[in-house]
Amino acid sequence: MASKTVHVVGTGMVPFTHYGPDAGVAPAVDAAVAALRDADATFADIEAFYGGAAHPLSPRAPQIAQQLGLTGAAVQHITNASATGLAAVHEAAHAIEAGAADVVLVVGYDIPQHHLATEQLIVAENGVAPVVSFALVTQLRMAASGTSNWHLAAVAAKNWNYARSNPFAARRASAQVTPERVLASKVVAEPLTTMMCTSWTEGAAAVVLCSKRALSRFTRHRPVRLAGSVLRSAAAGIEGSMLGTAELTRATARSAYELSGIEPRDVDIVQVHDAFSIEEIQNYELLGFSEPGETEKLIEAGAFGPGSRHLHGKPEFSTDGGLIARGHPGGPTGVAQIWETVRQLREPDGARIGLCHLIGTGAVSVAQLYERAG
């Protein structure tokens, strides 16, 4: 979907942490209220509501909407594994483009009402723990491309350090994190250590979207435009449903660039599916920001971290800590990516274009490009 009319006018989040089953719908409602306040709006302004939750034991979207107000707004519930948040925004944007609504609230959340670990669900669906699969992927890359333990640790340390300034991040280190500290953390599945892996958390994030004709009603912040959104599914491959294929990510990004008229060289910041540090390294290449054979050298030079745009001509990645350190509840992960992207695009001297990308159990991929409007 190429978008010329969909804008983000409000964002909100609550901390990514462990709320427990007694939290109910409160974190999702709090994130929604924060986004509405950020847009200087109320739920009465909302014409459609999209709730996204990946965990089957999280509340359904109507339960969230009822707590916000009984207004007659259309309510939809979206589930698409780790890609749920971006998929919900994709569907909400379609509603605006189709003229079905001018102002839409999207809330991504996962707060299971009964305890059942996310990893247990994934193992039940796929037969293997994600960390085992990605440890094997990492070992293959190390053999083929010369990726070392240090490269994995450097990427993870970068993301941990970005999270230190994110008040909503699940993992906020008290001191600067070094690759050596990451390497010294407990090995989970060789060569991945705990600090190279995502933190399975709970939480909520929300955005208010509006059409171009409704934009004049929202003047509190500089508007951010959704320049393009693409959702694709995997074609047949040998890597399995959880991992998906490299071509899925590559094709999704390529379509998003073509639809939006934006090229990789235009992008300032990127939020990706870095559940394991190897995924971010792969995505440097799959999203069009480096070529095989040069990626490890770029990591060694400090590319993709603070100042990367100026020093290396490459975007900064996972600037809020990413899945590794900000956390990965599932439903709100993609919406949190948008929260961070919008935060930076609103800055007068900040980024101008941002990319958000997620994979859902390897079977679906969503890529969205955002740009500073006006």
Domains, the chain, ordered by start: 7-114+200-217 (3.40.47.10)
The CA distance from 255 to 359, in Å, is: 15
List, for residues 132-154, the tens digit of each pLDDT value. Answer: 889 999 999 999 999 999 999 99
Give the pLDDT of residue 361.
81
CB contact at 8 A, 125 and 69: no
Three-state secondary structure call for residue 260: helix
List, for residues 290-302, the tens digit of each pLDDT value. Answer: 999 999 999 999 9
Q: Residue 242 pLDDT > 80, yes or no?
A: no
Q: Give the residue-averaged pLDDT of 237-254.
A: 74
The CA distance from 209 to 221, in Å, is: 13
172 — phi, psi (to 5°)? Answer: -120, 100
User: Residues near 252 by Cβ (< 8 Å), separated by ≥ 6?
Assistant: 230, 231, 232, 357, 365, 366, 367
Q: Give the residue-averaged pLDDT of 159-164.
A: 98
Percent of the chain predicted with pLDDT > 90: 83
